[in-house]
Amino acid sequence: MTLAYVITPFAAWFVAGVMKFIINSIKAGKLAFGLVGYGGLPSNHSAIVSSTAALIAFREGIGDPAFGAALTLAFIVMLDANSLRRQVGKHAAAINRLNAASSKNDMLRERMGHSRIEIAAGVLVGILVAAAVNRLIT
């Protein structure tokens, strides 16, 4: 077994996280440590699952059963990011409005899901990281 299958998703997570931090810092005009997490461009989760599927495709081929399993997992994660987690964010916003009068409760994080562009950017990061790891680690 090669360590490429272990390194790739972590590398994709790191690259996407650094990109998200830089983008959020530029938008905020300051170091944006508090803005890194769920939501934003690129999608870390999409980068992670896409990198794994892409590495399997590069090394084993798209006919390999592992690629089918990885692609299925990637689809589920991306669908969840675009639908369920966005709804959770909307619920958090509604709860925050209801709790606005009370200072006893902490505000809930409202930015939870991803737009299709953020997901696509995560997929692109994942594929590029997988291609780089595939070339560097044999």
Prediction pTM value: 0.82
Distance, in Å, from the CA atom of 19 to the CA atom of 42, rounded to the nearest integer, reads 7
Mean pLDDT, rounded, for 47-73: 98
* Count of domains observed in the chain: 1
Give CA angle at 91 (90, 96), nearest 5°: 100
Give percent above pLDDT 90 in the chain.
Answer: 57
Q: Is 62 left (phi over 0), alpha (psi -120 to 50) or beta?
A: alpha
Q: Which helix (H) or strand (E) holds 96?
A: helix 84-98
Q: What is the pLDDT of residue 19?
A: 94
CB 38 within 8 A of CB 111: yes
Band (pLDDT 50/70/90 cuts) for residue 33 is confident
As a whole number, the mean pLDDT across the chain is 87
Residue 23 belongs to what domain range?
4-29+37-99+106-136
Q: What is the pLDDT of residue 69?
A: 98
Distance, in Å, from the CA atom of 46 to the CA atom of 81, rounded to the nearest integer, reads 8
Residue 64's identity, in one-letter code, is D
